[in-house]
């Protein structure tokens, strides 16, 4: 079956522009996660959805970052007024179940590489 | 594509030899640990996981060891192959928290 897909794969933005990054999770997966990966570093958590509910957004670095998953499937990560420090790979992951007390595998997409000039 | 593994600790291993990758985790409350493999231009790929009530788990050609006393995790790859060349990350989480915390990556380079 299809894995997690993300689009676009590459995005170049001028400083100050808004960008929107899309994630299509594995069909039927309840949980969806966004991570940010700087060059040479491990991914860092941004936010987590269980179905359409955003249960944890503590990792979002500023109020310029906004994520949504309105129908509990596809998710969009939006970055307003992009800055050079936003340049990174943005990874989406999904897992089958959700809720505390349940730990299951997070499957990652290929990421979107954002470059802010 | 651009390398994931710039300036990362690098393990060079001869094809066919065994590889051992180490990871020190930070949170003593963590109770679930995962190893991911990341190739250049791709997202992390699940390799193997282990829960805190275990100290060893084996998969196909891979073994994960967990030492909770010293907060140490290791990944052993048997008979390393060229396709094993990648950056390897350990990740930890707790039962009440769905977010993964990734450690520093280790680049493995397999020499044919």
pLDDT at B6 over 80: no
Tokens of A44: 């860092």
**List of chain A residues whose C-beta atoms are within 8 Å of the C-beta of residue B102:** 42-44
Dist. CA A35–CA A111, nearest whole Å: 9
Q: What is the DSSP letter of A86?
A: G
Residue B97 contacts A where some CB pair is shorter than 8 Å: yes
CB-based contact A100 B96, cutoff 8 Å: yes
B62 neighbors B49 (Cβ within 8 angstroms): no
Chain A contact for B26 (CB, 8 A cutoff): no
pLDDT at B2: 40
pLDDT score of B19 more than 80: yes
Q: pLDDT tens digits, residue range A53-112?
A: 999 999 999 999 999 999 999 999 999 999 999 999 999 999 998 655 556 789 999 999
pLDDT in tens, B27-54: 888 999 999 999 999 999 999 999 999 9
Q: Give chain B as a 3 state SS string.
A: CCCCCCCCCEEEEECCCCEEEEEECCCCCCCEEEEEEECCCCCCEEEEEEECCCCEEECCCEEEEEECCCCEEEEEECCCCHHHCEEEEEEEEECCEEEEEECCCEEEEEEC
Minimal Cα distance from B39: which residue of A? A110
pLDDT, residue B26, reads: 84
Residue B97 reports pLDDT greater than 80: no
pLDDT above 90 coverage of chain B, percent: 77
Q: How far apart are CA B7 and CA B17, in angstroms?
A: 24
Beta strands A75-79 and A88-95, pairing class: unpaired
The DSSP-derived string for A58-75 is TT--STTEEEE-TTSS-E
């Amino acid at each position: 079956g299809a894995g997690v897909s993300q689009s676009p794969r590459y995005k170049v933005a001028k400083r100050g522009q808004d960008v929107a990054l899309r994630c299509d999770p594995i069909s039927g997966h309840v949980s969806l996660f966004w991570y940010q990966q700087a060059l040479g570093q491990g991914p860092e958590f941004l936010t987590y959805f269980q179905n359409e509910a955003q249960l944890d957004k503590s990792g979002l670095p500023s109020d310029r970052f906004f994520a949504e998953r309105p129908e509990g499937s596809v998710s969009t990560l939006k970055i307003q007024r992009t800055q050079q420090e936003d340049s990174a790979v943005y990874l989406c992951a999904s897992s089958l179940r959700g809720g505390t007390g349940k730990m299951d595998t997070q499957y990652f997409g290929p990421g979107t590489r954002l470059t802010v000039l | 594509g651009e390398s994931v593994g710039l300036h990362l600790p690098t393990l060079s291993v001869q094809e066919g030899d065994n590889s051992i990758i180490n990871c020190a985790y930070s949170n003593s409350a963590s109770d679930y640990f995962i190893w991911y493999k990341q190739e250049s231009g791709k997202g992390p790929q699940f390799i193997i996981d282990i829960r805190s009530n275990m100290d060893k788990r084996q998969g196909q050609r891979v073994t994960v060891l967990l030492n909770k006393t010293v907060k140490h995790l290791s990944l052993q790859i048997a008979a390393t192959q060229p396709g094993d060349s990648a950056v390897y990350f350990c990740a930890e989480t707790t039962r009440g928290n769905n977010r993964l915390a990734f450690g520093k990556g280790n680049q493995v380079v397999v020499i044919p």
